[in-house]
Structure 1
Amino acid sequence: MVVVQRNEVSRNRLLYILTIILSAVVLSAVAVNFSRSSEAVQVLLVLLAPIAFVAVVLSLVQLLTHPKRSQVLLFQRDDEIVVAINAVHEGFKLRFLRDILGDQVTSFTDEDRVRWKSLENDGFYAALYVRNVRKVIMLRLCTMIFDDVFVADRNNRWEHHDSSSTAEPSYSKREMPPLTSWKSSP
């Protein structure tokens, strides 16, 4: 699987918009000039119209499936860290983390699943339960993989690391993710 950087994805998005504009110009030119052009030009216009239409359809599909920012929440409690993500379809990132962390990843108990269920109202899903891993290592791994990393400690202090443009953000902001059903660290 190819992982594309966020700025490259945004550049591609701009190209799709330009493709739609250019294709619309071509389709309108075909519609306006078809009846008054010669037979040889009409053949060329008949070939250009479906190509422009296919380009519009493919560009719209690409724009509609543009990936949202992958966000991860890290909840630190003593020597335990719970990892919650907003994009379940990015399971390859979780498998990568699980493979690196190995024996430190444990299963959620039924009580833990109930405790973290409230995050699902905000679009986040508790995915990994990690023990005996230093916060710095976990944070570094997550900034390499995800666009936004939010860290909360036991006292409900939040840090936001925006790693969408670089895997090594030089500073963090004291901001919380947009959670509506969140009270404090469970």
Structure 2
Amino acid sequence: MTIYSLSPTSGRGMFLAYRRKGVVMGKYDELTRGQTEALLNRIGGMDGMRGILSGELIVTLANASSLALGFARDMAKETGWTLLEDVSEPSEIAISSLELVTFLNRGESHVSGDTLRNRAKENGANFGQRQAEYLLERQDEIPKEWRDFYLVFPGTVWRDSRGRRRVPSLNWIGGRWFLDFRWLDYDWDSVDRLVRPRK
């Protein structure tokens, strides 16, 4: 028998919920697909789930009230970065209802990262890393015309090990989308775009 110990961080339950054609299939129907995947990753993926269901694996929580489901790429764990700011809503979006918008005003060739972030908030385009990861999981649904741009998600800001602020972006490289973290303090120009719900 294997025993795993999770470091908890939010008050969500350990049981999963599934939806099919609008019908709630479980107790915790508020869990998103991304949260469910994050939880499965924390317990060892499908093998961990099978182990729990068969009784061969026991999961213990130090404090069940603080279990949190984080990012698919948690840069704090991967690289020791510090999360400075993050937006969590919306957790699920219909990709077909999104559009790309520029943050440049007429006559501007580039703006600072702080200006980019302010304009993202003003224009309802302040998505963050969770939304970027949601799109990344469904990259076959992302419109082909978006491939010409870097999609910026300034609602999440990390500080890297050298003190530089970074924000997530999706970049089309070699026939697929990749999640990257770009320096916020560089200039942002016409090849960059924000994502927002279509107005």
More helix by share: 1
Q: TM-score, normalised by structure 1?
A: 0.24
Q: TM-score, normalised by structure 2?
A: 0.23
Q: Name the larger-Rg structure.
A: 1
